[in-house]
Amino acid sequence: RSVPARLIHPDEIIVREDVPIGTVLYQLRTTRPASSFHLLQLTNGHGLEIQNATMIRLNECTGEITTIARLDRELVSDYNVTIGVVFANDHHNITQEQPISETATLRLAVEDVNDNPPTCARDTFHTAVPLNTLPGDQLQFQLSGMCYDLDVGNNSRLSYTIHNGNGSTTIAVGKDNGILYLTTPLSHGMIGEEIWLNISVSDNGTPRQSDSVLLFVKIVEANNFSPVFSTSQLSFSVSEHTPIGAVIGRAMATDGDNGRQSFVKYNFASFQRGFSINRTSGEIILQRRLDFESEPFITLAIRALDSAAPGAGRSTQTNIVLNVTDVYEAPAPRFSQSSYEQTILTKSATGMRVLFIAVDNMSGRD
């Protein structure tokens, strides 16, 4: 009994992203002799088609799938390879235009290698720590959100260590999470001092790759209070005819600290179309036309920030509701009809009424 003609293939082929160009990834097999193999389509994992000739080649005679370009998992992590086969006894004169006997789709999974070093947003960072910070307290600035690795899995898992610096006995860093925290008490005599740390950021791949950053930490006066708004929610009324550029209200907040840290600055907590705010005075300025009919209420999210050093600041947020007031807008006068026509005799007397035109002002007013 003859064996059914079938294409033998795995569902998935796993290949390291650093294989040399020209590597044979797999050789297709069949249960009966095949006349030709054909690469019908190549897509990425999201279904977007890729030009076949740019990444892999399928030998029509041997069924070998070979790389013809460098793979990069960070660009494309997997491919779907659709293959067709024509069996030897199906057609006598095989050409590429003839029907395919069987098709199959293989998943080509690109395996990560540790080819990317950790990357941090900057080489140097500046922050501050208030005097009232206690040993064990976390700093406001955290290195963990500033560094990343484009690899995956263990290759992208970062470790943090203090390499050197005059602050290595004052501040420590969590090896696995990059969290910075104080290790020794601060004293008044340290106010104004700036300590520095050279921190190494390494991945956990093989071979291990690393980057390093400099962190400068200034010790500042204790910042005990956050800014406080006069009320938790403010409300202003503003006419819909208010001109652009007019001051329509003011946000006011106070801070109970002393010195520089008591100066309050203002900004919007989220994007606000058509409004601006004076950073120092809190005055809110209109930058667009208002319309009561389409937008009778507008809510602005305002943030008040103290002037403490970066990393030691405090802020508070509130909402300001603008009540847009309606202004009577009389409609334009309107003729009773769109056109008028009247015949006038050549011998008509002067002052004789020849036509009556009616106009309605739609307002009920003169």
Residue 125 token pair:
């960072």
Q: What is the DSSP letter of 188?
A: G
Stretch (H or E) spanning 23: none
Q: Which stretches of the chain are DSSP H helices? A: none
* Number of neighbouring beta carbons within 10 Å of residue 226: 16
pLDDT in tens, 19-28: 999 999 999 9
Burial (CB < 10 A; 0-12, 13-18, 19+), residue 291, is: exposed
Length of the chain: 366
Spatial distance between the Cα atoms of 129 and 312, rounded to a whole number of angstroms: 6
| Prediction pTM value | 0.62
Residue 217 token pair:
């930490």
Spatial distance between the Cα atoms of 289 and 248, rounded to a whole number of angstroms: 12
Spatial distance between the Cα atoms of 72 and 81, rounded to a whole number of angstroms: 17
SS3 155: helix
Spatial distance between the Cα atoms of 361 and 366, rounded to a whole number of angstroms: 8
The alpha carbon torsion through 232, 246, 274, 315 (nearest 10 deg) reads -30
pLDDT in tens, 317-328: 999 999 999 887
Q: pLDDT 10s digit of each residue in the chain, 366 long?
A: 567 888 988 999 999 999 999 999 999 999 888 889 999 999 998 888 887 668 899 999 999 999 999 999 999 999 999 999 998 765 544 444 567 889 999 999 999 999 999 999 999 999 889 888 999 999 888 887 899 999 999 999 999 999 999 888 899 999 999 999 999 999 988 988 999 999 999 999 999 999 999 999 999 888 888 999 987 668 889 999 999 999 999 999 999 888 778 899 999 998 888 999 999 999 999 999 999 999 999 999 999 999 887 777 889 999 999 999 988 766 667 777 778 777 777 777 777 777 777 776 654 444
